[in-house]
Structure 1
Amino acid sequence: MTTPAPTVVLVHGAFADAASWSGVIAELQSSGIPVLAPPNPLRGLASDAAYIASVASQIDGPVVLVGHSYGGALITEAGVTENVVGLVYVAAYVLEEGESLGELQGRFPDSPLASNLKQWTYPVADSDPAVEVTITKDAFPSVFAADVPAVVTKVLAVAQRPLAASAFTETATAAAWKTKPSWALVAGADHAINPEVQRFAAKRAGATIVEIEGASHAVAVSQPKVVADLIRDAVRATS
């Protein structure tokens, strides 16, 4: 009896939505790889990771989780789900158990993202309003997607999905890379997550690392084939 090919689950990060994977999805589908790109709630590390774990656990057969940016923190927790066989990090945070995004970032110089966030509030049942953040519209192109055409970034800037500010301080309860194989793409010209953060965390996880010189944080949009190639490597290795 042959084991079914893994299903790739693409987890987007903050300030984006699942459509940011469109080019990667097309590449994977052209290779006959089953793929799913669920919405990331962006409301907090524990609850978002639980949602992604729930999605993965309901898929028949093995799963390769792919996380972009903040999505990397989620797959680090959700990856302990039994049917997850591999992890792929794309310009992403790779947390250690007990570590927060803020702690990992704090070991390195701030990226331009830190000074270009706009705060909003959103209602929470039976509680005071909570804080969420987006990237300021004018800074979005250079911070998030410097290698994406301006006509596209103008649209992406106003279609951002905000991230709950609490996500920066919540700590990871698990690190699936300790028991599952991992791959990582470092975006060499990332102005949202310092590339040094990406390199350090990917190396710590023992990931197979590919670095794309000149790539922005939105590397899945600007270079979908390169991203899909790394995911295909992970699928082949775990099939």
Structure 2
Amino acid sequence: MPFERTVPKVGAALAALLACTVPASVHPHVFAEARLDVVLGADHQTVKALRHLWRFDDLFSSTVLMEFDANADLRLDDDELQEVANTIHASLADFNYFQLVTVDGKDVKMKPPAAIMANFENNQLIILFESEPETPIQLAGDIRLGVYDPTFYTAIDFTEDANMAVDGLPSICTRTVVRPDPDTALAENQQTLTEAFFNDPAGTDMSKIFATKLEIKCHA
């Protein structure tokens, strides 16, 4: 698995989260609530950066605590949190940090985040990072932003529309949170879904059709 090649010392918990080979009866095993803040450029004409926050469920968070609590004091100190952050940073590189970024249906290349921050609050693991497109995204056409795990192992959800935010959007633009219905998404993409997807969707990169997306449409 790519993750094992990248980080040979990783704990079992994060290996499962970030690079698990999932059986055909795939469904999420790890859950996280997310927030996405879209940062516009100074002129409010481009998308400059995406700020991500993921808050993981109690069960997975406790597993991470057990795996990375090297001194067994039932807490994650700064050095241990840094190890968690470094592990996730290295691991998610092969998965574009679970980001979905398109303009008019075409993928936008994103720079790897300079760093990932990890925190442990109220018994939950919290991950924060900021990424930038290789070239600032012009506010034109149909921009879609979201988060998805191509292995289907992790469900990262935006529980409220307000958790996908963009401040200072020009008046020529509209912001819509799109929550696809799974049955409708399957029907609409039937032509492009392969037999491999239905036998084992893990790693086919098609889980993005089910992802909640922030849609920004701008017209002159």
TM-score (norm 2): 0.27
Q: Tell me which protein shows more helix as a share of its residues.
A: 1
Q: Larger C-alpha radius of gyration, 1 or 2? A: 2
**Higher strand proportion, which one?**
2
TM-score by length of 1: 0.26
